[in-house]
Structure 1
Amino acid sequence: MQVDLGNALGTTPGLSEGTLDRLDDRVADAHERIAAGRADREFGYASLALPETADPDAIRAAVEPFGRPAAVINVGIGGSALGAATLSNALDSETDAYFLDNVDPEHVADLLADLPLEDAVVNVVSNSGTTAETLANFLVVREAMADAGVDWTERTFVTTGPEGNLRRLAERHDLPALDVPAGVPGRFSALSTVGLACAALQGHDIEAVLAGGRDAMGGLSGSLFETPGYAYGAATYALAERGAATNAVMPYAESLETFAEWFAQLWAESLGKDGVGQTPARALGATDQHSQLQLYRAGPPDKLVTMVRPRERADRAIPETDLEGLSYLGGASLGDLLDAEFEATEASLAAADVPNVRVEVDRVDERSLGELLYGMEAACVLYGELASVETFTQPAVEWGKKAARGLLGGGDFAEAEAVAEKRELLIGE
């Protein structure tokens, strides 16, 4: 993973090399705190030890009885889905993966109607074992399998904490069960049982994913000038302090589109506290050059654009043509065009005085993905240290969970009472 901050220097808002030099002393102090927390496996900081503590053998042992299914259905939400989805959607496999991370009834029904349930494996993921959306979807999946004549107990395993409904379900039905790592919030769990089980079922090299994470972990030092993840975390923090309230993450690879979704949860849920934080926006190059770039380049000067790409990729030649005005494309490739779009967008933003940061990985493979995911987690933790926020908690999310559970009769929660207080200003029938 490599980070280029050049186009964030001297922009509006922007940084200077002197700013980065001064900030580096704070990065050194923050690194000491992060390193100590990681070594002691403190809550949250334990996430940054996962490349060493995750056990790929245990994951493979849990999924081995299922062989290589036609499909895997990951039932989870938020951090219980996005890390696994990032790996799955970035890598090719003969086993299709589907992620039930929403309770939209039409979507769930349509998906289950089309799946080969007799040759599908279900992974139910919830640390607490009480997540309402996850358990509701699982009950629907279980019923669909029974209706199709499939013994769900032979096609299901769980990934959960030491207690809760899912743990009891696994014990009652003798289901394979993987442990969610202690002290690791869901959005930081991609390099653990939570993110890697689906990849293992699809036949991906999970050891290489962890090796990429170890590469990034081994590169952590007390200087932003030596650590790509810290360079990104420090720069985004400093830009946010200067007015870059939105961070538009724009991968130039279809395979990394879900990575932008994963990043959005990591950034928003970790850093949006106490009136501070940076709003993540998701874009896709080159598609969103034709939709969102107008705003980024000519709208309010409150944005940072993070552009992500692999240095190497498979390519496809563009056929020669005699169509007037298009002959220049002949002899080039789609990769050439995409790279030109990438570099032109960088230059376009810089010319408009909009800060943008380039993040590159060698290629979209297991090792590079592990390095990218870990690097961004380290960036997020560093940002939290610099901003003095509680990076690993999510109290605003918990408020909504309690309100929803109370509305469904799952307990007596004061938060549910606030729903009745909603103001109305109705227009239309």
Structure 2
Amino acid sequence: MSDVISVEVVSSPNDDEATALVTELVNARVASKLTAQDPTLWGPAAESESAIRLSWTTLHETSRPLLAEIDALRADLRAEGIDRIVLAGMGGSSLAPEVITATAGVPLVVLDTTDPGQVADALAGDLSRTLLVVSSKSGSTVETDSHRRIFEKAFTDAGIDAASRLVVVTDPGSPLAESATRAGYRKVFLADPHVGGRYSALTAFGLVPAGLAGADVAALLDDAAQAATALSDDSADNPALVLAAALGAAHARGAEKVVFADTGSGVKGFPDWVEQLIAESTGKDGTGLLPVAVEGPDAPGFADAGPDATTVAVGPTTEAAALATSGRLGGLFLLWEYATAMVGRVLGINPFDQPDVEAAKKAARSLLDAPGAGAAQAPAFTDGPVQVYAGGDWLPEGTATVADALRALVAAAPEYGYLAVQAYLDRLDDASAAVLRPELARRAGLQTTFGWGPRFLHSTGQYHKGGHQNGVFLQLTGDSEVTVEVPGRPYDLGTLQLAQALGDGQVLIERGRPVLRLHLTDRAAGLVHVVEASQRVAREGSS
């Protein structure tokens, strides 16, 4: 990985409006006040929430005592032959550790899914060498609780003392902390409760699973410490101020999408992490920035970005002046946390709450309480191995093919809207679903996002409900060849996965958004069918 990672906002690094915003932020001493954890920066309505969400600005100092605990536990585990780390966590509890370990080149099995096939594959690994890290601020996250129950039973059935193979990361005093202590789990790491999930990369939530897997997490804190001085400076040279101003000025001109392409940074999966940070922090009150992660600088959405999008290249420093430099990965995390919090001030919103996330969870719970409710819905039509469901009245009568349904969905998007592809599938075995993002973006002429369900519900899911209401939504669900029961619960993972898709779709439909669900009765054949259909889509006026 490059010693210094640069961030270049390609669209507007020298914009007059951005320059004026930088001056305004400098004069208001936003950077130094943020470092001092001043909760008044976002106005009176946000003050109570901000007051308990700002400890991330000093984590490069306060997280250091964790390092010895992580090292000691890892040494004990290796001495016992336990070297396979599985992480059960959602949102901020999984995205940062995944970026850290992938970038470091060390293995970590990440479970941020309810797909029964993907969970079954994780269970099929060598349990004699396995430790499960359960990461949740409260422990009530349904996906993570399900994983804990499933693995606890699997360890017991294999004749392994389950408590000795479970490590918990949670907030002090949480129900999970209390239950884990009562059950005698191997260790309970208590994270800083004054840090929200999406800002938690340098807390125990990011450091414990990554460190146990073998990543050099001390170096992350060193990187962040090196960047912290510049990020705290009330100066026009502060890279976070420059980034925030560039994005805020672009948004004021109607560029509410932010398209990320990696140009050789060496950081693996960074767009997925920053996607959650930006979307969940800013997508509310009918405004916000929608991050769009693309496959590279030549990808559709980046290379052909229109006036509704700002393009951001993340890569090694070149002779060309970069908009912002951040050191290495720890500095990159901190840079974007500062910039995102500052953008919240520019947009006039509270960057630390997520008022619309709970709606989809409640809808899913209601469906779980009424088994068969989703299955009872009849498809609008069936096209080969794909059952087609349409929420709302946007689908023309007589539509009979997947390709025509996709064309109708794209046509339902407003000018400069966006298309969100949401795959409630196995992100390993069904990875080919991700090709739908560039295929549809290229043909539809819309900024197009791709998210694996249900994990996107903990990131862009907030923006879909709370941000600019100009999206149309393509859900992919599918039959599974395996069933994984959730011990102590009246449902299996397949039932939970479908309820999550239907629940989120229901909330979007209630908010007037077009939702197309394609259910694959045969996943392999169905994906081929959908991809081929996507290649026949074209929005009027697009090439």
Number of the residue aligned with 2:59: 50
| 1:154 equivalent in alignment to 2:164 | yes
Cα separation, partners in 2 of 1:18 and 1:381, compared to 1, 3 Å:
closer
d(CA) in 2 for partners of 1:421 and 1:270? 19
Cα separation, partners in 2 of 1:98 and 1:233, compared to 1, 3 Å:
same
Match among 79, 104, 108 for residue 115 of structure 2: 104
d(CA) in 2 for partners of 1:141 and 1:255? 33
Number of the residue aligned with 1:305: 311
Q: Is there any run of 5+ residues in structure 1 with no aligned partner, and where?
A: 312-338, 347-355, 363-367, 411-415
Number of the residue aligned with 1:370: 330
| 1:277 equivalent in alignment to 2:276 | no
| 1:8 equivalent in alignment to 2:11 | yes
| Bigger mean CA offset, 172-181 vs 216-225 | 216-225
Match among 83, 89, 95 for residue 102 of structure 2: 89
1:156, CA displacement in angstroms? 1.3
Number of the residue aligned with 2:128: 118
Cα separation, partners in 2 of 1:140 and 1:44, compared to 1, 3 Å:
same
Number of the residue aligned with 2:182: 172
| 1:385 equivalent in alignment to 2:395 | no
1:195, CA displacement in angstroms? 0.1
Supply the AA of the counterpart residue of 1:43: I
Cα separation, partners in 2 of 1:187 and 1:428, compared to 1, 3 Å:
closer
Supply the AA of the counterpart residue of 1:20: T
Match among 57, 72, 90 for residue 77 of structure 1: 90
Supply the AA of the counterpart residue of 1:248: V
Number of the residue aligned with 2:223: 212
On the 8 A contact 1:23/1:234 being kept in 2, the answer is yes
Cα separation, partners in 2 of 1:261 and 1:173, compared to 1, 3 Å:
same
Aligned-residue Cα RMSD (Å) equals 3.4
On the 8 A contact 1:264/1:282 being kept in 2, the answer is yes
On the 8 A contact 1:89/1:255 being kept in 2, the answer is no
Number of the residue aligned with 2:24: 25
| 1:404 equivalent in alignment to 2:364 | yes
Higher RCO (Cα < 8 Å, 6 or more apart): 1
1:50, CA displacement in angstroms? 1.1
Cα separation, partners in 2 of 1:405 and 1:155, compared to 1, 3 Å:
same
On the 8 A contact 1:146/1:152 being kept in 2, the answer is yes
d(CA) in 2 for partners of 1:425 and 1:223? 45
1:107, CA displacement in angstroms? 1.4
Cα separation, partners in 2 of 1:62 and 1:43, compared to 1, 3 Å:
farther
| Bigger mean CA offset, 149-158 vs 265-274 | 149-158
Number of the residue aligned with 2:37: 37
| 1:228 equivalent in alignment to 2:228 | no
Q: Is there any run of 5+ residues in structure 2 with no aligned partner, and where?
A: 41-49, 370-488, 490-502, 520-543
For residues 196-275 of structure 1, the aligned pairs below 5 Å read 196-223=207-234, 225-253=236-264, 255-275=266-286
d(CA) in 2 for partners of 1:380 and 1:192? 18
On the 8 A contact 2:260/2:271 being kept in 1, the answer is yes
Cα separation, partners in 2 of 1:421 and 1:131, compared to 1, 3 Å:
closer
For residues 350-361 of structure 1, the aligned pairs below 5 Å read none
Number of the residue aligned with 1:331: none
| CA deviation vs aligned residue, 1:39-85 (integer Å, no higher than 9, x gap) | 99932211112111112233334544323743210100001111111
Count of residue pairs the alignment pairs up: 367
TM-score (norm 1): 0.76
1:163, CA displacement in angstroms? 3.1
Query: Secondary structure at 1:219's aligned position in 2?
Result: helix
On the 8 A contact 1:8/1:357 being kept in 2, the answer is no
| CA deviation vs aligned residue, 1:119-171 (integer Å, no higher than 9, x gap) | 01110000011111110122122222233333222221100122344223321
Cα separation, partners in 2 of 1:402 and 1:201, compared to 1, 3 Å:
same
Cα separation, partners in 2 of 1:2 and 1:221, compared to 1, 3 Å:
farther
For residues 308-323 of structure 1, the aligned pairs below 5 Å read 308-311=314-317
Supply the AA of the counterpart residue of 2:83: A
TM-score (norm 2): 0.61
Number of the residue aligned with 2:153: 143
| Bigger mean CA offset, 266-275 vs 232-241 | 232-241
Query: Secondary structure at 2:224's aligned position in 1?
Result: helix
Cα separation, partners in 2 of 1:218 and 1:153, compared to 1, 3 Å:
same
Cα separation, partners in 2 of 1:49 and 1:360, compared to 1, 3 Å:
closer
| CA deviation vs aligned residue, 1:398-424 (integer Å, no higher than 9, x gap) | 2222333344349xxxxx8x9599789
1:428, CA displacement in angstroms? 11
Supply the AA of the counterpart residue of 1:16: D
On the 8 A contact 1:306/1:359 being kept in 2, the answer is no
d(CA) in 2 for partners of 1:90 and 1:133? 25
Match among 139, 143, 151 for residue 129 of structure 1: 139
For residues 53-72 of structure 1, the aligned pairs below 5 Å read 53-54=62-63, 55=65, 56-67=67-78, 69-72=82-85
Supply the AA of the counterpart residue of 2:36: A
Counting aligned pairs with the same residue, the percent is 28
d(CA) in 1 for partners of 2:104 and 2:57? 23
Greater percentage in helix:
1
On the 8 A contact 1:306/1:358 being kept in 2, the answer is no
Supply the AA of the counterpart residue of 1:53: T
d(CA) in 2 for partners of 1:274 and 1:90? 35
1:391, CA displacement in angstroms? 0.5
d(CA) in 1 for partners of 2:263 and 2:354? 30
Cα separation, partners in 2 of 1:4 and 1:265, compared to 1, 3 Å:
closer
d(CA) in 2 for partners of 1:107 and 1:86? 19
Cα separation, partners in 2 of 1:129 and 1:20, compared to 1, 3 Å:
same
| Bigger mean CA offset, 150-159 vs 297-306 | 297-306
On the 8 A contact 2:265/2:316 being kept in 1, the answer is no
d(CA) in 2 for partners of 1:251 and 1:298? 16
On the 8 A contact 2:70/2:212 being kept in 1, the answer is no
d(CA) in 2 for partners of 1:372 and 1:427? 36
| CA deviation vs aligned residue, 1:250-273 (integer Å, no higher than 9, x gap) | 113485241110000000000111
Number of the residue aligned with 2:415: none
Query: Secondary structure at 1:159's aligned position in 2?
Result: strand
Query: Secondary structure at 1:280's aligned position in 2?
Result: strand
On the 8 A contact 1:87/1:199 being kept in 2, the answer is yes
